[in-house]
């Protein structure tokens, strides 16, 4: 994906999430991964600890990176959390490259599961 296309699709995803969750500002990658993690976990509560937020964001990261073969889901633990097996390490050459990989896969996740392709907010 070319840089301009990634930027355009990422902005579209940010607006989609902002509109769906009536946010005041555009979400960053951590917020998007957190929401993907919540979706995967299937449990919503009013308040999360800092540790819970980190675990849910990591869950979202595993969910989007499974598309690239970094992780596979192996089951559910006693508390209802998905268990993941790392198939290969996620070691991008830089933070920027890591962010791009996560954004690309988050976009693909939303295009596949939430009709992002058909979303039009006049971005």
Entry pTM = 0.90
What are the average pLDDT values for consecutive 10-residue runs of the chain, which has 123 residues?
93 95 96 96 89 96 96 95 96 96 96 76 53
Which domain, by its residues, includes 41? 3-118
Give the span between the Cα atoms of 34 and 50, in whole angstroms: 12
Rounded to whole angstroms, the Cα distance separating 78 from 13 reads 33
Is 102 part of a structural domain of the chain?
yes
- Residue 72, Cα to own-chain centre: how many angstroms? 15
Domain count, the chain: 1
**Is residue 99 assigned to a domain?**
yes
Given a contact cutoff of 8 angstroms between Cβ atoms, the answer to whether 72 and 84 are in contact is yes
In a domain, 123, yes or no: no
């Amino acid at each position: 994906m070319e840089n301009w296309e990634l930027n355009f699709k990422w902005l579209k995803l940010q607006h989609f999430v902002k509109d769906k969750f009536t946010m005041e500002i555009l979400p960053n990658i951590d917020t998007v991964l957190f929401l993907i993690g919540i979706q995967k976990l299937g449990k919503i509560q009013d308040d999360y600890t800092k540790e819970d937020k980190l675990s849910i964001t990591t869950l979202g990261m595993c969910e989007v990176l499974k598309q690239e073969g970094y992780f596979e889901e192996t089951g559910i633990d006693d508390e209802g959390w998905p268990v993941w097996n790392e198939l290969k390490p996620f070691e991008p050459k830089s933070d920027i490259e890591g962010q791009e990989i996560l954004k690309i896969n988050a976009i693909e996740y939303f295009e596949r599961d939430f009709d992002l392709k058909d979303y039009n907010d006049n971005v």
